[in-house]
Structure 1
Amino acid sequence: MRNGFDNDKYIALQAEHIRSRIEQFGGKLYLEFGGKLFDDYHAARVLPGFEPDSKIRMLKSLADDVEIIIAINANDIEKSKVRGDLGITYDEDVLRLMDIFRTMGFATSGVVITHYANQPSAGAFRKRLDSLGIKSYLHYPIAGYPYDIDHIVSDEGYGRNEYVETTRPLVVVTAPGPGSGKMATCLSQLYHEHTRGVEAGYAKYETFPVWNLPLKHPVNIAYEAATVDLDDANTIDPFHLEAYGETTVNYNRDVEIFPVLKAMLESISGESPYQSPTDMGVNMAGNAIVDDDAVRDAAKMEIVRRYFQTAVEVKRTGIGHERLERLELLMNQAGVNASLSPARSAALLKEETTGGPAGAMVLPDGSVVTGKTSALLGAASSLLMNALKGVAGVDDDKDVLSDEAITPICRLKTQQLRSRNPRLHSDETLIALSISSATDEAAAKLIEHVEDLRGCDAFFSVILSATDEKLYRTLGINVCCEPKYEQHRYYHK
């Protein structure tokens, strides 16, 4: 839980380097934003001290010079692709991001729908954007992309894409997730700017991998674990090594595409300003690490979390075994195993001694509390109550929620709502606790300490219900589950 990252220093360094890039390109920069722009929880977990909204706060320091384009792949709209961390589709996330940017006072240029080939759902989404007063632009698949440079950088390639009118020095191109076409959107805009006689440049804001950390540093291994479904792999940047004699870390897709990207930049503007993928990046995260041991420990925990997340997904879907094997390899590289968190052994022991599903959580002071399944509370509810007692300093034996408070809710669930499970989920337990806080001093004390659980690690001996998992995620608790179900059934909600 100790900080290892200076967030204020990071924001200042990033803003300074972005201003330098804008000046380098004559006053206009298209900045591709990799990762999450507003809520980068992965970075917050592996770089303790990094705030999830650090990137947007950095942009606020440049707000008068910024406008934002959101890119979304038409194929992702068609497939209803979901953001795993938020549980919403990419098209819904576009609207969420638009609301956030508008609320924060940022200028938005509109939405670019990339890879558009008359997909019905993408067409419907464009009509929805139009009805909401949001400008949208279509970018089309280009034959021979990305290797047929002459065709790509022509009127039949980038020239066929709809041009987004922008007026500010810094144009940020972001997206709901990877594969949305951010880089192609930037390069298409550069092509159109060049044909209009406007001087402009391109750079990439990518937090991971951290270029000036070792290749096998746990922070960089954690990035591979987070992108295991994309087959990303960290690698030494050979172009940077050849050009400058300096060893830096990049990832395979950027290294593989760099010769093509360099050729595109040369074709668009006559020369490339970059000699390596590392040159393209504006990433000062490594310079803001103040406690390397702290970030190493945090990154190792994240690698294990990704392992269990994937193991549960494999259990649910029956596919993805190769990803699980790769994660096991990454854990070996980081020198950790599945039992890194003491919460796992505590949860499994609790299940063994009680004969039912159980959970455990590591509190901010390092102590571990457990929760068991009872007649009225599920394991997630029991653990939540015991964890709140732990951080609030309330005696573990004290009944903050009486049976009289819980029983009517259980009866409502089974008799009126026709649920076969009478036990309270964690969200129902939190509501009951909130109601009790009006008359019970101990319950009120627990409510006051809910925020103290943010960032804690919890482990459950069985796969959690979607309801409990969502509540824990909302509270900012990191959840891992043993990849097994409580009951042997073919269908699980």
Structure 2
Amino acid sequence: MKIGFDNEKYLKMQSEHIRHRIDQFDNKLYLEFGGKLFDDYHASRVLPGFAPDSKLLLLKQLSDQAEIVIAISAKDIEKNKIRGDLGITYDSDVLRLMDSYKDQGLYVSSVVITQFSGQDGAVLFKNHLENLGISVYLHYNINGYPSNIPLIVSDEGYGKNEYIKTTRPLVIVTAPGPGSGKMATCLSQLYHEHKRGIHAGYAKFETFPIWNLPLKHPVNLAYEAATADLNDVNMIDPFHLEAYGETTVNYNRDVEIFPVLNTMFEKIYGKSPYKSPTDMGVNMAGNCICDDAVCREASCQEIIRRYYTSLNSLLKGASTEEEAQKIELLMNQAGINIQDRKVVGAALKRAKETGGPAAAMELDDGRIITGKTTNLLGASAALLLNVLKELAGLDHELHIISPESIEPIQKLKVDYLKSKNPRLHTDEVLIALSTSAALSTDARLALRQLPKLNGCQAHTSVMLSDVDIKIFKKLGVQLTCEAIYETDQIYH
């Protein structure tokens, strides 16, 4: 994979910059941490070389100075809000996150339940955490938030929130997802710290949009595509331009809320430490791009992938046409179309030739391998085997899984598990290949090629099952699918 981002430089610059920001205040900084602390695959796709766990490695460098506070909204607990990428509720994810951080040697000091107004589910969750020995704090709804500043910055506003006891200079405020109240938690703490005579600071760590890249740079356009469902829009930061005469990029929600934040800072401190939303950020990612062309190309591919994701979601009834239309507009701004994704044309051509579902994968060196649907295998499973044989230098006519070993699996699926589809999915093919590898040198050689699929591009002429999509994701394959069902059934 071509590298466009210097991860080592990033970790060094970023940790130094955060330490410098801590020193600007009374050795106390509340850092709102947006996005994912680990498994940040969007960043690794658009900035090739960015490690998915870069933020985690960064925090580990600061672990002696940092503690983590996890914010979760009582409203999200009450309605059992689900994390779309993991399929678990936000409250369950809080427990998962705590375990993950602790396993990495990071100190999680407490959980804060925000927007609390007596919700039964939130009370139960609070009791559950406390029974586990976890410190829990409550932050309440404030009438007129965020516009009623006199009430918000008073003993009847932030003053009613429970003060979160922290012991370290850097307090990372993170959450299971957006809308959890991270910023409000930070500002509430600033109010309480100020009353205690501590001049604590606030900063925001968001990787995207990258403030010192052009507004229409593909990396920033890819961020808009990723947040099309939230209707986020990148824009020039007008406050930064006015204060410094420098053009920087931020997104609409931060620009819109800044006058309110600035007034809050003035009410708390007497003077605001920041002149613009860009000033609040601490992101150094833009300084660590080492090959702009590589990042541009990777980001263009990400925009096309997001476009296909939106079309698939629309077909499932999980999104609106506006989302797909917005990403199509972003593709036009980037000067790209679906044909710029080579595997699309290859998969559709193979499907037309065979008269059935087909799939294609582009390897790192540009080779494109295809697979078709057969009596034994689905198109994605056939593609997987063909790619592994290609990478292993094996003849494509060679059976690395014997048809005789596939038939008992089909019998199990249809006769005993009552499946209507006898063809093997990708997970079943990998299990069969693993079994064959015990006796076959060729199967063993093919199996060893799996790590080489990480970062490869793939496309299928029909929508895949959730099982196949998850397998490709686990292998690191960057997959897109045509928004077409394989059958004309209504229920899928």
One-letter amino acid of the structure 2 residue matched with residue 285 of structure 1? A
Q: CA deviation at 1:318?
A: 6.3
**Residue deviations 1:473-492, cap 9 Å, x none?**
11111111111111111211
The residue correspondences of 1:131-142 to structure 2 (distance < 5 A) are 131-142=131-142
Identity of aligned residues (%): 61
- The reply on whether 1:149 has 2:141 as its aligned counterpart is no
Provide closer, same or farther for how the CA distance between residues 123 and 375 of structure 1 changes in structure 2, counting only shifts above 3 A.
Answer: farther
Q: 1:334 to 1:192 in 2, by over 3 A?
A: same
Distance 2:193 2:383 in 1: 57
**Mean Cα deviation higher: 82-91 or 46-55:** 82-91
* Match of residue 373 from structure 1: 373
Which stretch shifts more, 227-236 or 189-198? 189-198
Q: CA deviation at 1:108?
A: 0.6
In the other structure, the counterpart of 2:250 is 250
Residues 116 and 390 (structure 1 numbering): CA distance in 2 closer, same or farther, change over 3 Å? Answer: farther
Task: Give the aligned partner of residue 74 of structure 1.
Answer: 74
Deviates more, 1:53-62 or 1:88-97: 88-97
> What are the superposed Cα offsets for residues 47-73 of structure 1, whole Å, 9 maximum, x if unpaired?
000001001101111110010011122
Deviation at 1:135, TM superposition (A): 2.4
Task: Check 1:406–1:132 CA distance in 2 against 1; reply closer, same or farther (3 A cut).
Answer: farther
Question: How many residue pairs end up in the alignment?
Answer: 492
Measure how far apart 1:319 and its partner are: 4.2
Counterpart residue number, 2:324: 324
- Distance in 2 of aligned mates of 1:17 and 1:484: 48
Query: Aligned equivalents of 1:481 and 1:250: distance in 2?
Result: 32
Distance (Å, rounded) in 1 between the aligned partners of 2:270 and 2:83: 39
In 2: Cα distance, 1:84 partner to 1:338 partner: 25
2-side partners of 1:79 and 1:399: how far apart? 51
The aligned counterpart of 1:388 is: 388
* Structure 2: distance between partners of 1:246 and 1:367: 44
Q: Secondary structure at the match of 2:110?
A: strand
SS at match of 2:339: coil
Superposed, 1:461-472 pairs within 5 Å as: 461-472=461-472
| In structure 2, C-alpha distance between the alignment counterparts of 1:120 and 1:379, rounded to whole Å | 48
Q: Deviations along 1:14-51, whole A, 9 cap, x unmatched?
A: 00000000000121100011111111111000000000
Distance in 2, matches of 1:341 and 1:119, equals 48
Q: Which amino acid letter does the alignment assign opposite residue 252 of structure 2?
A: N
> Following superposition of structure 1 onto structure 2, how do residues 165-180 of structure 1 map, counting pairs within 5 Å?
165-180=165-180
Match of 1:443 in 2: 443
Structure-2 separation of matches of 1:87 and 1:455: 24
**CA–CA distance in structure 1, aligned partners of residues 349 and 122 of structure 2:** 50
TM-score, normalised via structure 1 length:
0.97
Residue identity opposite 1:479 in structure 2: L
Instruction: Tell me, yes or no, if the aligned pair for 2:310 and 2:319 is still in contact at 8 Å.
Output: no
> How far off is 1:361 after superposition?
0.9
Distance in 2 (CA, whole Å) between partners of 1:405 and 1:182 is 54
Q: Secondary structure at the match of 1:51?
A: coil
SS at match of 2:112: strand
- CA deviation after TM superposition for structure 1 residue 339, in Å: 2.4
Conserved in 2, the CA contact under 8 Å of 1:363 and 1:391?
A: no
TM-score (structure 2 length as normaliser): 0.97
Q: Deviations over 1:111-162 (max 9, x none)?
A: 2122223333333333332333332222221101101111001122111222
Deviation of 1:332 after TM superposition, in Å, equals: 0.3
- Rate the CA distance shift 1:422–1:215 in 2: closer, same or farther, 3 A: same
Counterpart position of 2:303: 303
Paired residues of 1:462 and 1:483 also in contact (CA < 8 A): yes
Could you tell me how far apart the structure 1 residues matched to 2:250 and 2:219 are?
13
Change (3 A) 1:124 1:317: farther
Structure 2 CA distance for aligned equivalents of residues 318 and 164 of structure 1: 38
Residue pairs, 1:212-291, within 5 angstroms: 212-291=212-291
Within 5 Å, give how 1:470-481 maps onto structure 2: 470-481=470-481
Q: Is structure 2 residue 156 aligned with structure 1 residue 159?
A: no
Tell me the residue number matched to 1:9.
9
Q: Aligned equivalents of 1:317 and 1:118: distance in 2?
A: 34
Residues 377, 120 of structure 1: CA spacing in aligned structure 2 closer, same or farther, 3 A cutoff? farther
Match of 1:95 in 2: 95
* AA matched with 1:68: I
Change (3 A) 1:392 1:89: farther
Given residue 436 of structure 2, which amino acid in structure 1 is its aligned partner? S
Give 1:333's aligned residue.
333
Which residue in the other structure is 1:485 paired with?
Answer: 485
Aligned-pair CA distance for 1:75: 2.3
CA distance in 2, matches of 1:96, 1:393: 42
**Secondary structure of 2:487's aligned partner:** coil
1:227 counterpart letter in structure 2: T
- 8 A contact 1:373–1:379 mirrored in 2: yes
Does residue 199 of structure 1 match 2:203? no
Structure 1: tracts of 5 or more residues without a match: none
Q: Unaligned 5+ residue runs, structure 2?
A: none
Amino acid across the alignment from 2:244: Y
After TM superposition, give the deviation of residue 82 of structure 1 in Å.
2.8
Alpha-carbon separation, structure 2, partners of 1:350 and 1:76: 45
CA distance in 2, matches of 1:337, 1:128: 50
* Counterpart for residue 452 of structure 1: 452
Secondary structure, counterpart of 1:308 in structure 2: helix
Distance 1:472 1:76 in 2: 30
Residue equivalent to 1:106 = 106
Is 2:455–2:477's contact at 8 Å kept on the other side of the alignment?
A: yes
Match of 1:339, SS? helix
- 2-structure distance, mates of 1:190, 1:30: 8
C-alpha distance in 1, partners of 2:335/2:60? 39
Following superposition, the deviation at residue 209 of structure 1 comes to 0.6
The 1-side partners of 2:402 and 2:66 are apart by: 54
Q: Secondary structure at the match of 1:273?
A: coil
What is the rounded CA distance, in whole Å, between the counterparts of 2:122 and 2:428 in structure 1?
38
Equivalence for 2:426: 426
Change (3 A) 1:298 1:144: same
Separation (CA, whole Å) in 2 of partners of 1:121 and 1:391: 52
The answer to whether the 8 Å contact 1:109/1:164 transfers is no
Return the offset for 1:90: 2.3
Contact conserved, 1:243 with 1:275, CA < 8 A, in 2?
yes
Aligned residue identity for 1:377: L
Distance (whole Å) between structure 2 residues aligned to residue 87 and residue 382 of structure 1: 28
Letter of the 2:30 partner, please give it.
Y
Counterparts in 2 of 1:126 and 1:393: CA distance versus 1, 3 Å = farther
State whether residues 391 and 449 of structure 2, in contact with CA within 8 Å, keep that contact through their aligned partners in structure 1.
Answer: yes
Distance 2:124 2:485 in 1: 38
